[in-house]
Amino acid sequence: MKFKVEPKNGKIQIDQSGKIEDTAKDTVLALSDDIKYTVILSAKTKRTLQSILRREGRPGMFVYLVFSSLLYLLLKSVQPKSKVIVDKEYPGKEDLVKLIIKRIIQKEGAEGKLNFEFGLVGKSSNAHGLAHKTYKKKLKANKKVKFEEVIRLIYLIKNDRVSRY
Q: How does pLDDT run across 38-54, given as a tens digit for each residue? A: 999 999 999 999 999 99
Q: 5 in a domain, yes or no? A: no
Q: 140 in a domain, yes or no? A: yes
Q: 4 in a domain, yes or no? A: no
Q: 153 in a domain, yes or no? A: yes
How far is Cα 67 from Cα 121, in angstroms, rounded to an integer? 16
Number of domains in the chain: 1
Contact (Cβ atoms closer than 8 angstroms) between residue 17 and residue 44: no
The 8-class DSSP code of residue 143 comes to E
Q: 1 in a domain, yes or no? A: no
Q: Which are the contacts of 19, defined by CB distance < 8 A and separation ≥ 6?
A: 25, 27, 63, 89
How far is Cα 22 from Cα 119, in angstroms, rounded to an integer? 22
Domain span holding position 61: 12-164
Q: Give the model confidence (pLDDT) of 65-118 as tens digits.
A: 999 999 999 999 998 888 899 999 999 999 999 999 999 988 887 666 678 999
Contact (Cβ atoms closer than 8 angstroms) between residue 129 and residue 97: no
Q: 94 in a domain, yes or no? A: yes
